Chain A
């Protein structure tokens, strides 16, 4: 085979390979990190984080605004401390409410931020004080059962 046809075939092969890589990068995967610009970190303490994981999304009004970067146990308050980075373009008021929510019935858990009405905004490194823990299914069920049982109790005899 002459050298030019060989070059042509190798060129086609390399171009196909690069096209496949580009397809995988752009169509199949989402590039994380690049969508969060000049991030700053905030943290929040929760009684129970449920199944929240590192790198879970942080959303406000359903829009991705950051990611969870670290989860550790705070032995002083006996609570979980969740550290997360937020896109520098977004500022949140100091009375922002942090919840742990679930996308879909069995979906992954994420951190939801509900902004309050305060004028001042959270500075990098601040701790969000108002938090709501993850809903633990067992607790919910046991509460429900308890309420049902209380309802069904016969009235005390007079």
Chain B
């Protein structure tokens, strides 16, 4: 009996310790961000690796999600004789949920895992320690640029995902099925609100960006410096990013929800 409680206690303590460690790490990143922005090309380089190189997968998945939403939406809406509302359905579901969440999941598995692997391997090959020896702060030199690269690219990627998805829905609805073009756009504009739908979606994706980038750099920095440790850290990045995105999405949606 005592064993169970002891296990529970150690689990709770290590959980709280981990949380505190992440929080302190986050504060450190923010503190050394100014120092790393002095060499802005480091951040721009990371923007290229996590933003530009994720572009293809984000655009293609956005298009396919939009196409599927168009087909499924048409199938359901035409039962009620309101297939013109397709634009509304596609735009709202993309802007509010699918855009930020799916782009976040893709971003975590495409860019987050790469960041973890890179920092983890740097730790294995003792590059981080070498930097410390040369009085180069590894957080300012390695961690902060990767963090900010992720934070900046995530909202842009989510917006591109939503745009491609709406284009996909339009392609299915207007071009292939023959829903009226004017009705598609005007119904969409009448139902989609800039502040409640677009800005809330951007806010969500920015929060996901911070969460994914923080988890990715932390897991890389915290990994056990062996081959196995790095592979475990990458797995943990993808799993905890996905969980964090879905949980944060629920929390934020329940705050933004305004249907009475």
Which residues of A pack against B, CB within 8 Å? 1, 3, 6-7, 9-10, 12-14, 16-18, 20-21, 23-25, 27-33, 53-54
Bound Cα distance from A24 to B158, whole angstroms: 11
Give the number of residue pairs across the A-B interface with Cβ within 8 Å: 84
Given contacts A10-B47, A29-B197, A53-B260, contact A16 B190 (CB under 8 A): no
A53 to B52, CA, bound (A): 43
Residues of B contacting A23 with CB < 8 Å? 163
Q: A17 to chain B: which residues have CB within 8 Å?
A: 153, 155-157, 159-160
Contact A7 to B44, CB < 8 A, known contacts A13-B51, A24-B159, A24-B198:
yes
Q: Is the CB of B47 within 8 A of A29?
A: no
Indicate if the CB atoms of B195 and A54 lie closer than 8 Å: no
List the A side residues contacting B26 at CB < 8 Å: none
Residues of B within 8 A of A28 (CB): 91, 95, 166, 188-189, 192, 198
How many interface residues does chain B have, given as a range?
20 to 34
CB A66 to nearest CB in B, in angstroms, measures 16
Bound Cα distance from A28 to B47, whole angstroms = 27
CB distance from A22 to the nearest CB of B (A): 9
Determine the chain B residues whose CB is within 8 A of the CB of A20 once the complex forms.
Answer: 156, 159-160, 162-163
B interface with A by C-beta (< 8 Å):
41, 44-45, 47-48, 51-52, 55, 91, 95, 153, 155-157, 159-160, 162-163, 166, 185, 188-190, 192-195, 197-198, 202, 260
- Apart from A6-B41, A30-B192, list 8 A-B contacts with CB within 8 A: A7-B41, A13-B52, A20-B162, A28-B166, A28-B188, A28-B192, A29-B197, A32-B195
Write the chain B residue with the least CB distance to A16: B160
Contacts of A13 in B (CB 8 A): 47-48, 51-52, 55, 153, 156
